[in-house]
């Protein structure tokens, strides 16, 4: 069955270039009315111009779609609220939010300044918080919402010189993990996309011969699935060069080491058993871990009495 977005309204942040542009064009091509948000800043977040967003809007309209441009800075909640009001006044609803806006301030942890660290966190993490908060009650009231965070392999696995970016990108996974629980009863599905693509943010980091292979358009089909009516809930979808994978955070079963004679030496001596992946679980809430540890302790107590 074809995935369509007829009658839906989508906000895509950072949609003037790269992945955001690709997402906005594809959503519009499948029937969505799109708010093309882009501050028009340079890669490091400085400056600003509405030209990029306006150009994408023109592309969408030329193809017969509906779109409006918006230059809100996602780090400014008042501007984000105004963007959402613009969508509501224009179309009366907001069904889809794609948190895509981002900047880079790459430096090793030794050299990165606290200001640069905070700025990257502010754009990626708090920008996602601001945009999600601004649409949350709308989606709750209409009993429908599809939200996608943009994470990264840098956050999931680490990347040299990107401590600020990695921290922000793992932060949005934590945000998603809680919002998937809070939004479930209101038919709000929250997921995360981990893209690998040749964009302004990665252009200089990748060999030129890979640029055409790692196009934003090879990632966007995954995004469309994550914001579709039949979207999953609380998933991390990795995408790049036309390939797709699902990543999860698993926890080993672990083992009970005793209550009265615990020691770091005991932890060290049992490290292999603690790390054993047999019986590992995919948790859907923080309480699952507490339940597991209490269960292990009670099982050990029962065995000692027997």
The per-residue pLDDT for range 214-243, each reduced to its tens digit, is: 899 999 999 999 999 999 999 999 999 999
Residues marked active site are found at 165
Query: Residue 210 and residue 230: Cα distance in Å, rounded?
Result: 32
Query: What angle separates helix 18-29 from helix 51-62, to the nearest 10 degrees?
Result: 30
Taking residues 179-191, report their average pLDDT: 98
Best mean pLDDT range from 147-151, 258-262, 283-287: 147-151
Per the model's pLDDT, the better-predicted residue between 284 and 135 turns out to be 135
Per the model's pLDDT, the better-predicted residue between 300 and 59 turns out to be 59
E strand or H helix that includes residue 182 = helix 163-183
Percent of the chain at pLDDT > 90 equals 84
pLDDT the model gives residue 198: 73
Taking residues 292-300, report their average pLDDT: 89
- What is 250-305's CATH number, 1.10.287, 1.10.3470, 1.10.10, 1.25.40? 1.10.287
pLDDT the model gives residue 302: 83
CATH of domain 9-247: 3.40.50.720
pLDDT at 44 over 80: no
pLDDT the model gives residue 46: 53
pLDDT at 290 over 90: yes
pLDDT at 137 over 70: yes
Residue span(s) of the chain under CATH 1.10.287 come to 250-305
Percent of the chain at pLDDT > 70 equals 92
Taking residues 98-121, report their average pLDDT: 97
Residue span(s) of the chain under CATH 3.40.50.720 come to 9-247
> Over the chain, what is the mean pLDDT?
93
Q: Of 6-15, 164-173, 207-216, which range is least confident?
A: 207-216
Query: Residue 34 and residue 63: Cα distance in Å, rounded?
Result: 13
Taking residues 278-297, report their average pLDDT: 92
Residues 6+ away with beta carbon under 8 Å from 30: 3, 4, 5, 6, 224
Query: Residue 91 and residue 71: Cα distance in Å, rounded?
Result: 18
pLDDT at 156 over 90: yes
Query: Residue 244 and residue 194: Cα distance in Å, rounded?
Result: 10
pLDDT the model gives residue 258: 86
Taking residues 31-60, report their average pLDDT: 83
Taking residues 299-306, report their average pLDDT: 80
In the numeric block, the tokens 């099982």 are attached to 299
């Amino acid at each position: 069955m074809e995935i369509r977005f007829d009658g839906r309204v989508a906000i895509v942040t950072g949609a003037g270039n790269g992945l955001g542009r690709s997402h906005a064009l594809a959503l519009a091509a499948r029937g969505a009315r799109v708010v093309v948000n882009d501050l028009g800043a340079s890669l490091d977040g400085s400056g600003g111009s509405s030209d990029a967003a306006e150009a994408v809007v023109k592309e969408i309209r030329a193809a017969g779609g509906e779109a409006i441009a918006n230059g809100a800075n996602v780090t400014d909640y008042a501007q984000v609220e105004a963007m959402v009001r613009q969508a509501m006044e224009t179309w009366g609803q907001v069904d889809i939010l794609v948190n895509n806006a981002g900047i880079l301030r790459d430096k090793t942890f030794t050299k990165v300044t606290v200001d640069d660290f905070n700025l990257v966190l502010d754009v990626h993490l708090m920008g996602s918080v601001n945009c999600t908060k601004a649409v949350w009650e709308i989606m709750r009231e209409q009993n429908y919402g599809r939200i996608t965070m943009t994470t990264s392999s840098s956050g999931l696995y680490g990347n040299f010189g990107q401590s600020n970016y990695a921290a922000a990108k793992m932060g949005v996974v934590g945000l998603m993990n809680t919002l998937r629980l809070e939004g479930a009863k209101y038919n709000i599905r929250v997921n995360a996309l981990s893209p690998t693509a040749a964009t302004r943010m990665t252009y200089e980091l990748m060999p030129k011969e890979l640029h055409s292979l790692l196009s934003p358009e090879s990632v966007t089909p995954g995004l469309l699935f994550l914001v579709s009516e039949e979207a999953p809930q609380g998933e991390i979808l990795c995408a790049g060069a036309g390939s797709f994978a699902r990543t999860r955070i698993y926890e080993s079963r672990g083992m009970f080491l005793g209550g009265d004679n615990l020691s770091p030496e005991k932890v060290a001596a049992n490290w292999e058993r603690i790390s054993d992946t047999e019986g590992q679980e995919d948790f859907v809430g923080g309480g699952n871990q507490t339940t597991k540890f209490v269960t292990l302790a009670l099982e050990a107590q029962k065995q000692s009495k027997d």
